[in-house]
Amino acid sequence: MNTATERNYRETLDAAALGYLQRHQAQHLANEQHLFNLAVAYLMACYGAAKVLAENTVARVVSELRSGGERCFLDVSASTCTTAVIVDPASGISHSVPLHLICQLLLDNPERQRR
């Protein structure tokens, strides 16, 4: 597939996944995983998407839906394996956050481990 065609296909899958999730969300409030699986199956059946591509597409769309009005984003191209670069487009400021700090505050937090 050439780049433009591949980009159009991914955009089509993104739009299809978003539409499917929005249409069926109310039916699956108690079971998000079931809705996720149904959306993946929908992309595979209706758009011929490979399972991995369908899963990645639905996961990305779910993540975007959950983030809602978040204005900051992770700059993957500027981040490294030890540093996350978070950009605030409203102010134009980039923040470089060491991953060890993220792990320390979020993942290794004793409060989180008790849950």
42-85 residue pLDDT tens: 999 999 999 999 999 999 898 878 776 677 888 889 999 999 99
Cα 21 to chain centroid distance, Å, stands at 13
- Percent of the chain scoring above 90 in pLDDT: 50
Q: Are 35 and 24 in contact (CB under 8 A)?
A: yes
Residue 114 pLDDT greater than 70, yes or no: no
* Cα–Cα distance measured from residue 31 to residue 14, given in angstroms and rounded to the nearest whole number: 21
* Cα–Cα distance measured from residue 70 to residue 75, given in angstroms and rounded to the nearest whole number: 14
How many Cα atoms occupy the beta-carbon half-sphere of 30 within 13 Å? 0
Residue 111's pLDDT is what?
Answer: 65
pTM equals 0.59
Residue 99 pLDDT greater than 80, yes or no: yes
Residue 112's pLDDT is what?
Answer: 60
